Structures are given as structure tokens and as C-alpha cells.
């Protein structure tokens, strides 16, 4: 344990406020992800059929359980804004950190765009049901993104308290629909005959292909650690909030698949924009329709809200470390939020929300997430090798290492193949983007980075260096 490091640089600067507890972490994680139950997951049914959709739901659940286990250990030890970005900086190196920062920003900004598209689509659907067809969705898309960016600009506590309330309502709406259908409220009975008449319309390859959108059920749960610098007790709150979040989502995902697959023909479900709301429409019950309309609106707003929070923290962290122009590393003097990063990411979200189809935007978000999960596998191995368990204090130690790493890497490989089946062009475009961005960082941007400042944890020197 030689060479225990010194304290962080003594420069006085504005810090983010430590005001969040475990419930806020749960709300941040589930709030971002719960929208995956309200839209997007159902494209997995379109890619493989009903059984493939359920298999994807559970296999993706296993993948995210590994993600939550691994992430909880590293995050509870490296509690800094930026989450996985800060982990990469301390464990792998600056270029990896830059890439992880971009994964986070792209995944969350695309998810934010997908949420805004869904808000517009839902309002258009409801307007059509009320006899006002052809609603212009764009003003609602713009308004959603601008309003939530303003809320984030004003302060993190109000933002995540708002998320806590609307996430809880959206979660209860799914349970209410599930229970109501079980009690026979639906005018049209549930029908699972497609499981026997058309069990695997694409054969076994459909199950692998469905994994692509199966990730959407849980994508973003790792975002809990983005708020690490704003949590009162990171070592306790982050693992607790994250694991409670993944359990919540596993339950919600299974209920969602059951209700939607029973109430909607799989061919429709596989391309629906708002499947849970559509399932409520099939029941013919006005109360359920209103509840699921509210649930869909709340889940999309909560998700977009959390996405703005997380993407701006990652962008802010990169600016603070000079991986990006340092202008982005500013904290608002009154609201103590990364306000420049929040404002800067608004037009990027708008470009994709206003000009790209939902499934494409979802795919870009999933791909960035998938690259991040791949990073977590070797990051965990390097973390344990560079700092074995007895060298530094961890807030949480995940069991069965390296089994979760092996399972996660295997499932990531399967997910890349799943994306390749049908969306190979997007995968190639995204890889080209990250390769060019990496070369740009290493050969141009890195000259502006202070080397020693990249390592701020009070740890001993890593083994092997």
C-alpha cells in the first residue's frame, strides 16, 4: 500500500449540491427506464414474435442484473459526477473516459429524443380519437424538451423530486392495468393463441434478434451513478437505489409483456408507438385509458427529465476535465447546476427528435448503451487487478466475480449480433463515429488535458504501473 495519494487539487470552485437520498436514486434509475415499458420494448416482438419478446425481456433482465452488480461495486468506490466516465478515467485511461462520456451523452440524448417523439405521437393519437386528426406533433416535441431543460437548469433537487412523483404514478398505472385486466375489466378478452399458432415467426434466430429491443426494457438503469456527487451517502444510496431499481423494472417488464401480448395482436404490437396505452384502448375502459395516457406522458417526461440530468452531468464532467472545451465545466452561481451543458445538448436532442424515426433513434440509444456495457466488463476486471480487494475500501463488493463479467460479455456479443440483424447500417455508422471521435481526441484534444489531474481518488498506485 505504498504511495497513498494526496488530496484533490486545492483550487476553490463551485461544487454540485449533495442533497439526494436512496429514493431519488431509485427515481432517477427507474424514472429514466420505466418509459421502456411504455414504448420501444415492443419492437422486440416485431423482430421475433411473442415468445421471442418474452425471452428477450428476461435475457436482457439478466444482462442488466450483471450491469447493476458490477456498476454498484465500482460506483460505490468512485463516487464522482459522470458515473462510468469517472470510472473509466481512473481505471482504463483518458481516451476510454472520453468515449464512455460520449456513450452516456449519446445514449441519454437519443433516449430523450425518443421520449419527445413519443409525447408528440401520443398526443396525435389522442387528438385523432377525439376527432382532431392530423395534429402537428412538432410544437409538443419542442415544448417537452425545452420545459424539461428549463427544469434541470433550475436545480437538481426539484428536478428529481418531480421525477420521483411522476415515476411512482407511471409505475402504479402499469400495476392498475395488470390487476384490472385480471379482474375482467377488459371488453375484449386476452388472447395468447399466437403463442401456439405463430410461436416463432422467424425461427430461433428471432429470439436473438429480439434481444436488440429487449435492452430497451432496462436501458439507462446504470444512470443512477451519474448523480454520485449529489448523493448524501454514495456508498449506501447508490447500490441500494440501483438494485431496487432493477427489481422494480423486472416486475414491470414482465407485467407489461403479459398485458400487451394478451390484448394486442403481435403484428400490431411489434410496431406500435405506445403499446400500453393501446392495450388500455382495447379494454374499452375510459378510466384505464386516461390512466395509461397519464402513465405514458409521465413516464416519457420522467425519462426525458432524467436523461437531461445524466447527459448534462457527463458533458459537464468532460468539460471540467478539458476533454471538451472548459467552458462546459461551469456550475451556475445560483442554481448550482451544469447549466451550459444542459443548454448545449438541447439542439442535439431536437435535431433527432424532429427528424428521425422512433426505431432509429431508439437503436442509436441502445447501441451507445451496449458499447458502455461492453466497457464495464473489462473495466471490472482491470479494477480488481489494479486494486485487489484488500488494497482499497469498497462501498459494495459484488459476489461471484468474474461470473457476472463473463455473462455480461456473452450477452453483449449476442446483442451486437441482434442489432446487426436488421440495423447493421446504423451499427457501422455508429462505430465509424466513435473511431473518428477517438482519433480526434487522442491526436488533437488530449494536448489540452492536465495529466496528473485525471486521477483524483485517494488510492494507492495501481498494480502494474
**Interacting positions 406-465 with other proteins (CB under 8 A):** 416-417, 420-438, 440, 442, 444-452, 454-455, 461-462, 465
9 binds other proteins (CB under 8 A): no
The Cα–Cα gap between 256 and 281 comes to 15
Q: Decide if residue 198 touches other proteins (CB under 8 A).
A: yes
Q: Is residue 165 close enough to count as binding other proteins by CB under 8 A?
A: no
Q: Counting contacts by CB under 8 A, is residue 187 touching other proteins?
A: yes
Q: How far apart are CA 360 and CA 342, in angstroms?
A: 24
| Cβ 22 vs Cβ 158: under 8 Å | no
Q: Residue 106 has what DSSP assignment?
A: H
3-state helix, strand, coil in the chain (%, to 5): 75, 0, 25
Query: Which of 140, 162, 268, 335 contacts other proteins by CB under 8 A?
Result: 268
Measured from the CB of residue 124, what is the shortest distance to other proteins in angstroms? 13
Question: For residues 306 and 342, what is the distance between their CA atoms, to the nearest angstrom?
Answer: 12
Positive or negative torsion for Cα 122, 127, 130, 133: negative
Taking CB under 8 A as the rule, does residue 205 contact other proteins? yes
What is the C-alpha separation between 17 and 205, in angstroms, rounded?
49
- Using CA atoms, how far apart are residues 300 and 308, in angstroms rounded to an integer? 12
State in angstroms the smallest separation of the CB of 239 from other proteins.
27
Taking CB under 8 A as the rule, does residue 182 contact other proteins? no
Minimal distance in Å, beta carbon 357 to other proteins? 8
- Candidate segments 139-147, 173-181, 239-247, 266-274, binder of other proteins by CB under 8 A: 266-274
Smallest distance from other proteins to CB 71, Å: 19
CA distance 178 to 361: 29
Residue 282 interacts with other proteins (CB under 8 A)? yes
143, 172, 179, 188: which one binds other proteins (CB under 8 A): 188
Of residues 344-403, those binding other proteins (CB under 8 A): 344, 348, 351-352, 355-357, 359-360, 364, 374-375, 378
Residues 70-99 that bind other proteins (CB under 8 A): 92-97, 99
Round to whole Å and give the CA distance between 246 and 63: 11
Residue 161 lies near other proteins (rule: CB under 8 A):
no
| CB contact at 8 A, 98 and 318 | yes
**What 8-state DSSP symbol labels residue 20?**
B
330: its cell numbers: 461551469
264 binds other proteins (CB under 8 A): yes
Q: Considering only residues 104-123, where is the footprint of other proteins by CB under 8 A?
A: 106
Q: Decide if residue 326 touches other proteins (CB under 8 A).
A: yes
Q: Write down the least CB distance from residue 70 to other proteins, Å.
A: 17
Strand pairing partners for 231?
20
Q: Does 10 interact with other proteins (rule: CB under 8 A)?
A: no
Q: Which position among 263, 291, 307, 409 is part of the footprint of other proteins (CB under 8 A)? A: 263
Q: Which residues of 111-142 are buried (b: 16+ CB within 10 A; e: fewer)?
A: bbbbbbbbbbbbbbbbeeeeeeeebebeebbb
User: Is residue 127 close enough to count as binding other proteins by CB under 8 A?
Assistant: no
Closer Cβ to other proteins, 165 or 203, answer by number = 203
Name the minimum Å distance from CB 165 to other proteins. 30
Please provide residue 331's backbone torsions phi and psi, each rounded to the nearest 5 degrees. -105, 140
- Report the DSSP beta bridge partners of residue 248: none
User: CB 348: neighbour CB atoms within 10 A?
Assistant: 16
Amino acid at each position: 500500500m505504498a504511495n497513498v495519494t494526496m488530496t484533490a487539487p486545492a483550487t476553490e470552485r463551485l461544487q454540485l449540491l449533495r442533497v439526494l437520498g436512496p429514493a431519488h436514486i431509485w427515481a432517477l434509475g427507474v424514472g429514466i427506464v420505466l418509459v421502456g415499458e411504455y414504448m420501444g420494448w415492443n419492437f422486440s416482438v416485431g423482430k421475433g414474435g411473442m415468445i421471442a419478446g418474452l425471452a428477450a425481456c428476461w435475457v436482457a433482465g439478466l444482462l442488466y442484473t450483471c450491469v447493476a452488480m458490477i456498476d454498484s461495486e465500482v460506483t460505490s468506490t468512485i463516487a464522482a459526477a459522470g458515473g462510468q466516465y469517472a470510472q473509466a478515467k481512473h481505471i482504463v485511461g483518458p481516451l476510454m473516459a472520453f468515449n464512455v462520456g460520449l456513450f452516456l451523452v449519446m445514449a441519454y440524448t437519443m433516449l430523450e429524443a425518443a421520449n419527445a417523439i413519443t409525447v408528440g405521437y401520443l398526443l396525435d393519437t389522442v387528438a385523432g380519437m377525439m376527432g382532431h386528426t392530423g395534429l402537428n406533433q412538432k410544437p409538443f416535441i419542442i415544448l417537452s424538451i425545452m420545459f424539461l431543460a428549463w427544469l434541470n437548469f433550475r436545480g437538481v433537487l426539484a428536478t428529481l423530486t418531480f421525477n420521483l412523483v411522476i415515476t411512482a404514478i407511471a409505475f402504479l398505472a402499469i400495476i392498475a392495468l395488470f390487476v384490472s385486466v385480471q379482474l375482467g375489466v377488459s371488453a375484449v378478452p386476452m388472447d395468447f393463441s399466437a403463442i401456439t399458432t405463430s410461436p416463432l415467426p422467424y425461427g430461433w434466430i428471432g429470439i436473438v434478434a429480439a434481444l436488440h429491443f429487449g435492452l430497451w426494457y432496462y436501458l439507462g438503469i446504470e444512470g443512477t451513478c451519474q448523480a454520485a456527487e449529489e448523493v448524501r451517502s454514495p456508498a449506501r444510496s447508490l447500490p441500494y437505489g440501483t438494485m431496487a431499481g432493477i427489481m422494480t423494472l423486472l416486475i414491470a417488464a414482465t407485467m407489461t409483456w403479459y398485458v400487451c401480448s394478451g390484448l394486442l395482436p403481435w403484428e400490431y404490437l411489434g410496431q406500435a408507438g405506445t403499446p400500453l396505452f393501446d392495450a388500455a384502448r382495447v379494454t374499452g375502459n375510459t378510466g384505464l385509458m386516461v390512466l395509461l395516457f397519464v402513465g405514458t406522458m409521465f413516464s416519457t417526461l420522467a425519462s426525458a427529465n432524467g436523461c437531461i440530468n445524466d447527459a448534462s452531468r457527463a458533458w459537464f464532467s468532460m468539460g471540467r476535465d478539458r476533454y471538451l472545451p472548459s467552458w462546459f465545466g461551469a456550475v451556475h452561481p445560483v442554481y448550482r447546476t451544469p447549466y451550459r451543458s444542459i443548454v448545449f445538448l438541447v439542439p442535439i436532442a431536437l435535431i433527432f427528435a424532429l427528424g428521425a424515426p422512433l426505431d432509429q433513434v431508439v437503436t442509436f440509444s441502445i447501441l451507445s448503451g451496449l458499447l458502455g456495457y461492453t466497457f464495464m466488463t473489462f473495466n471490472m476486471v482491470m479494477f480488481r487487478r489494479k486494486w485487489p480487494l484488500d488494497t482499497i475500501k469498497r462501498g459494495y463488493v459484488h459476489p461471484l466475480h468474474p461470473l457476472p463479467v463473463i455473462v455480461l460479455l456473452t450477452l453483449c456479443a449476442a446483442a451486437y449480433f441482434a442489432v446487426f440483424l436488421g440495423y447493421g447500417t446504423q451499427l457501422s455508422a455508429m462505430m465509424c463515429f466513435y473511431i473518428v471521435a477517438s482519433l480526434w481526441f487522442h491526436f488533437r484534444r488530449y494536448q489540452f488535458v492536465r495529466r496528473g489531474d485525471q486521477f483524483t481518488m485517494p488510492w494507492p498506485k495501481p498494480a502494474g504501473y
